[in-house]
Amino acid sequence: MKTARALAPDDGQLEVHLVPMRRRHLRSVLKIEAQVYARPWSLSLFLSELTLRGSRFYYVARVEGSVVGYAGLMLSGEDGHVTNIAVDPAWHRHKIGTRLLANLAQEALRRRVRNLTLEVRVSNEAAKTMYTRFGFEPAGIRKNYYIETNEDALIMWAEHIDTPEYAARLARLEATVPGRTVVEEIRG
């Protein structure tokens, strides 16, 4: 069996497929979830999210058939909430997270969302840096949000994503991603 590192080609040659999350992806998603979160989501929670097709949108990132990351979006009126975004640690620094978040923003725009929000650990500097590049700004703190560590969450918002200025920001971000990203849109 190939390891994730053995699969990683030169970033300029990397082709990442973003496909709607399906039940068949959940074994791989749960493996990543267990690697990156002290309190991972359960299989039943993912299954329940996948049934909410009108208001939830989940994608996996695949390289050569292997799931290397995933992300989800929940809609509520004009707002979209990034429920989760995670990348296999062996695939960090290959812009997988950037690809996933750009795709969620595009999906939100297709669904007429005007604002995006998310929570991030206050200690997660790499994630906060990426979110800031996407226009997310700090808006508050959720005390002890991460129960397993009693760590606070920083609430971040990207407002007015439905503007030409935000479209230009997304285009600039997507232009910095090496290789190729192939997106299979969610139907419906």
State the angle between helix axes of 26-36 and 43-51 in degrees (0 to 180), rounded to the nearest 10.
120
The percent of residues in the chain predicted with pLDDT above 90, rounded, is 86
Active site residues: 119, 131
Q: pLDDT tens, 142-184?
A: 998 988 888 999 999 999 999 999 999 999 999 999 999 999 9
- pLDDT-derived band at 7 (thresholds 50, 70, 90) equals very low
Mean confidence (pLDDT) of the chain: 92
CA distance 141 to 47: 29
Question: Which residue, among 57, 58, 80, has the nearest Cα to 136 in the 3D structure?
Answer: 80
Q: Would you call 12 exposed, middle or buried from its count of C-beta atoms within 10 A (0-12, 13-18, 19+)?
A: exposed
The strand ranges marked E within the chain are 15-20, 56-63, 66-76, 79-87, 115-121, 137-146, 151-158, 180-183
- pLDDT-derived band at 27 (thresholds 50, 70, 90) equals very high
State the angle between helix axes of 125-133 and 96-110 in degrees (0 to 180), rounded to the nearest 10.
40
Residue ranges of domains in the chain: 4-113+164-183
- Answer whether CATH 3.40.630.30 is correct for domain 4-113+164-183: yes
Q: Give residue 1's pLDDT.
A: 34
Q: Give residue 149's pLDDT.
A: 85
Contact yes or no for 91/43 (Cβ under 8 A): no
pTM over 0.75: yes
- pLDDT-derived band at 20 (thresholds 50, 70, 90) equals very high
CA distance 165 to 158: 12
Q: Give residue 2's pLDDT.
A: 41
Q: Given 3-state DSSP classes, what are the helix, strand and coil percentages for the chain, each rounded to the nearest 5? A: 35, 35, 30
Q: Is the pLDDT of residue 188 over 70?
A: no
Q: Give residue 9's pLDDT.
A: 55
